[in-house]
Amino acid sequence: MKNADILVLDFGSQYTQLIARRLRENGVYTELLAYNANLDEIKAKNPKGIILSGGPASVYTKDAYFCDAGVFSLGLPVLGICYGMQLMAQHFNGSVEPAKHSEYGKAKLKLVNKHALFDGVSDDSVVWMSHSDKVEKLPQGFSVLATSENSQNCAFGDDERKFYALQFHPEVAHSEFGAMILKNFSKICGLSSTWNMGSFAKEQMKILKDKLGTHKVLCAVSGGVDSSVVAALLANAAPKNLVAVFVDNGLLRTNEAKMVEEMFKLKLGVELISIDASQIFLKRLKGVKDPEKKRKIIGKTFIEVFEKEAKKHEGIKYLAQGTLYTDIIESSVAGSSKTIKSHHNVGGLPKKMKLKLIEPLREIFKDEVRALGLELGLSREVVYRHPFPGPGLAIRIMGEVTKERLELLRKADVILREELKSSGWYNKTWQAFCVLLNVKSVGVMGDNRSYENAVCIRVVDASDGMTASFSRLPYELLENCSRRIINEVDGINRVVYDISSKPPATIEWE
């Protein structure tokens, strides 16, 4: 188990993962644990500081969340954010009460005195609030560090024990000096900016080499950046142990299989075994409409195909895959957040597997994976490909997956990518794809009535995939995409554009 510089105990806030993101950006390795992690699990990570996240509960209600009280007896600096602040106040016999008015959005921070936690932070800077409770009375030993218009105890602390609390969320971009405040807390913990993708690569390659020994590892590759980086790590750490396998599940984009094979051979120099398993995947998905069932069927079938291939090679003990921290969080394997969707490589895996998992990227986010890929010498073309989900087009088809519906979606998707690349917008966006909706609409084509399928275009901007906003594409570009899809793809007569952000929506539709 890797040590963490700072541990974040997750009380269910939608912003929790951003705390880790901001600290990692400053070179401080940070991990999330569920709020109810036992003290031994916390100690095993050997942290230098602990952060208590925000959350949706109230500390004075029956459904309140509480961490192990021993957290405050470890002799470590502790920072409480929003709910974490209120929990700290109540634990030390302060007073937490419902606020007269809930406070959401921007507020001005008024600094009371100079303090290390606010070093470099301007007075009257903007911070982001999201709470309906407030600390009315401070616990003994704590003093006010900052106020806001609606909160006399907006920030407080106890320098002797190095316990600090913030009513606002420093982790969100709306808090002007939020990243600086988190960096200052890491300095209070005695930490410096030493963690980066170079050190991560060296550490992971040593771990992989020691773990594999003489055993071989089957690396599941899709052609996406995640699996490509895993393959590159293994190729650098233990090239003789690597068996790279690509499975065509019949849910890929046009010419995807050929592109993946060429990329691994020509750009990565890794020998690739290709398996066409499209028939079995499509057979098992027949009649299935529920997105969670789709993901679980796909995850289970992938494992069966990999295990069957592993029997053909002597000494394969492990299965390596490109699971990211994002997948772990959204599948509710880390922290206390609710399951958003079961990623095929996490919640979609069968409970019993013959192969043991190796997931060297499970502690890092997508942008960190890309930085790692460049560190390992992968080309920018490979590293900055738009993400493509493991379940493929199955989760971009609303309802049942059939060969006919797959073909419609593939044709529309090709047009979208062509238009984005020719206009220069492909590299300006995080991800772009089409979704085949499970509705039909009336149209007029060639003076005749049509009743055909509708397609949704989804293009987003993001940094790590945990949050995203829709891309403001030029109307002319959207018009070209719509015109070409309707004119060139028989069976589609309507195109719409998705302008929702994540949250509340997810990037993929299923």
Q: Beta-strand (E) ranges in 13-94?
A: 30-34, 49-52, 78-81
To the question of whether residue 223 is assigned a binding role by annotation, the answer is: yes
Q: What is the rounded end-to-end Cα distance, in angstroms, of the chain?
A: 33
The reply to whether 331 sits in an annotated binding site is: no
Asked whether residue 225 is marked as a ligand-binding residue, the answer is: yes
Is 287 labeled as ligand-binding? no
User: Which residue in the list 91, 115, 131, 169 is annotated as catalytic?
Assistant: 169
Buried b / exposed e over 444-470, threshold 16 CB at 10 Å, is eeeeeebebbbbbbbbbebebbbbbeb
In the residue annotation, 189 being an active-site residue is answered as no
CA 357, 360, 362, 363 torsion-angle sign: positive
Q: Is the four-CA dihedral 64, 65, 68, 74 of positive or negative sign?
A: negative
Catalytic annotation present for 41:
no
Q: Is 471 annotated as a binding residue?
A: no
Name residues whose C-beta falls within 8 Å of residue 335's C-beta, 6 or more positions apart in sequence. 10, 12, 16, 17, 32, 33, 34, 35, 329
Backbone dihedral angles phi then psi of residue 321, each to the nearest 5 degrees? -145, 165
171 is catalytic: yes
Distance of alpha carbon 75 from alpha carbon 175, whole angstroms:
29
Distances (CA, A) of 484 to 88, 132, 259: 58, 50, 24
H or E stretch covering 281: helix 278-285
Q: From the CA atom positions of the chain, what is the Rg in Å?
A: 25
Strand pairing partners for 128?
106
Alpha helices in 384-472 (DSSP H): 403-423
**Distance between CA atoms of residues 6 and 51, nearest Å:** 7
Residue from 31, 67, 82, 154 carrying the catalytic annotation: 82
Q: Of 48, 96, 40, 44, which is closest to residue 68 (Cα–Cα)? A: 40
Can you tell me the distance from the alpha carbon of 243 to that of 257, in angstroms, rounded to the nearest whole number? 18
Q: Kindly report the CA angle at 197 between 43 and 432, in degrees rounded to 5? A: 110
Is residue 224 annotated as involved in ligand binding? Answer: yes
Which residue among the candidates 31, 103, 171, 510 is catalytic per the annotation? Answer: 171
Give catalytic residues, as residue numbers: 82, 169, 171
- Annotation: binding site for ATP: 222-228
